[in-house]
Amino acid sequence: MSVKPAMMGQIGAARATHHEVEVLGHTTHYWTYPARGKSKGTLVLLHGYRGAHDGLEPIIGGLEDFDCIAPDLPGYGITEPLDKKHNLATYSEWLGEFLMALKLPVKPAVLGHSFATLVMSHHTSKNDDMGDLIMLNPVAKPGLKGPRRYTSLLTEGIFWAASKLPERGARYIMDHWLLIQVTSSVMCKTRDKALRKWVHGQHHKTLKDYANATVMFECYQASISHSVEEFASAIENRTLMIAGAEDDITSEKQQREVAPLLANSTLAVLPGVGHLTHYETTEEVCILIRDFLSEAKS
């Protein structure tokens, strides 16, 4: 396969071992990716909204010198939904219980993409069980205040209408090929045709990978109702924020406004990419992560 992130994903997947653990009364599925050779540390990776663990395998493939752990969040991939409302408080509680269940000898570094940056921020603002934080495309400001706020409002309207339908009707709308293709096309900024085709393929697979419409709608409401900024003053962890200069969810200007509000943060802005840094600039992201985590060891 000629697309580099796809090859990196295959390298990551080759290290994967599947596990199950009970968290909040339900089964959480997660995968471990042992380092090749001596490990430089442990990194827990959390996927974003309507994603699954394998969406971060290109990053894992580029970090072969780290022990990586990637779960499917409740209601996504093959992890069961919870009996509670799937809001930020619930996912924060789940994260704490999941980390505890891993029984790691030291606090791990934690990476999250998009929605997961909200979960991380909420959790670490109230708890001290995570080490360094890496936020990929952080939702620094509320989604409805982003550079494409009118698109966000339109999306919210579509989601609201679909949420009033029975499960089959809601899935027909939310999983429709055209809606996913338009969403993917807006987010994907690369001009590399092969890479664009691969990214679209990933989205047509992962954006359908949720347990039910209720989970999806509850998470969407959480994603547009909160921001990293909301919790920034309480985040003391060393934090690397990696943003795309062309991100349609949170603009570069908004990222630069929020980054200084965290006590110990570094902001890296990658040019020519938007909300899909993990897909479109995989190698650059891995270099930033490795350098950041290596600083803590020096």
CATH of the domain at 190: 3.40.50.1820
- Residue 108: give the domain boundaries: 4-297
The secondary element (H helix, E strand) that includes residue 231 is: helix 228-231
Q: How many domains does the chain have?
A: 1
3-state DSSP helix/strand/coil % of the chain, to nearest 5: 50, 15, 35
* pTM for this prediction: 0.95
Q: Cα torsion at 51, 82, 95, 126 (round to 10°)? A: 120
DSSP SS3 for 42: strand
DSSP character string of 65-134: TSEEEEEPPTTBTTSPPPSS--SHHHHHHHHHHHHHHHT-SSPPEEEEETHHHHHHHHHHTT-----SEE
The secondary element (H helix, E strand) that includes residue 166 is: none
Count how many Cα atoms sit within 13 Å of the Cα of residue 228 in the half-sphere of its side chain: 33
Which residue is it, tokens 């040019």? 271
What are the φ/ψ torsions at residue 77 (nearest 5 degrees)? 60, -125
Nearest partner of 274 among 148, 104, 94, judged by Cα:
148
Nearest partner of 24 among 87, 96, 88, judged by Cα:
96
Note down pLDDT in tens along the chain; length 298 residues: 458 999 999 999 999 999 999 999 999 999 999 999 999 999 999 999 999 999 999 999 999 999 999 999 999 999 999 999 999 999 999 999 999 999 999 999 999 999 999 999 999 999 999 999 999 999 999 876 766 666 777 777 888 888 889 999 999 999 999 999 999 999 999 999 999 999 999 999 999 999 999 999 999 989 988 999 999 999 999 999 999 999 999 999 999 999 999 999 999 999 999 999 999 999 999 999 999 999 876 5
27, two tokens: 């089964």
DSSP SS3 for 210: strand
The pLDDT of residue 1 is 40
Contact 23, 277 (CB under 8 A): no
Q: How far apart are CA 182 and CA 82, in angstroms?
A: 30
The pLDDT of residue 296 is 73
Q: How far apart are CA 179 and CA 272, in angstroms?
A: 24
Q: How far apart are CA 138 and CA 133, in angstroms?
A: 11
151, two tokens: 């698109």
Q: How far apart are CA 159 and CA 114, in angstroms?
A: 19
